[in-house]
Amino acid sequence: MALRNIVTEEDPVLRKKSRQVTEVNDRIRTILDDMAETMHAAYGVGLAAPQVGILRRMFVVQVDDEHLYELINPEIVEADGDQYGEEGCLSVPGYVGLVHRPEHVKIRGLDRNGKPVEYEGEGLLARAFMHEYDHLDGIIYTDKADNVHLPKDDE
C-alpha cells in the first residue's frame, strides 16, 4: 500500500466524469488499498478515485471503526428524505459548507473481488456515499454548498 497525492479543487481532473471500471483486477485492488490508506492518513471519511487523479468510477468510505465500504461502478438505487449539514472535502482543504443531501441512500456496485454488493446508509453514511458519488461525475461539494467558509477555532 502507498499514500497517494490528493488533488485539490483547482486540478481539472476533479471536473471530469469518471469512466467505468471494465475489469476488477489486482491493479484496481491496489488502488482501493492505496485510497483507503490515503483517506485514513488525511483523517477523511471518504475518498473517490478522481481525488487521487484516477478517472475511474470507484470510491472508499469509512464513517466508523466497523466497516470500510469499497464501491466500484456504484449506482444510486434509492435516495429519499433530506438532511442539511456541514461537509468538508479532502480536495478542498480547510473549508466547510452546508449541503442538502438525502437522509437515506441505497447504493449498489461491485466489491474489490468484482462481486455485486448493495448497501444502505442513513445520516453521515448516506452523506458520504452521495459526496463521493458526486466526485465520479465531476461535482465538488462546493457546487451545492451554502456558506462555504474556513471554520473558526471555536466551531
Which residues are catalytic, by number? Answer: 132
Where helices occur in the chain by DSSP H, the ranges are: 26-41, 124-136
Pairing of strands 83-89, 46-48: unpaired
In the three-class reduction of DSSP (H, G, I as helix; E, B as strand; rest coil), residue 143 is classed as helix
Order of strands across the sheet with 146-149?
Answer: 83-89, 92-101, 146-149
* Residues 6 or more apart in contact with residue 10 via CB below 8 angstroms: none
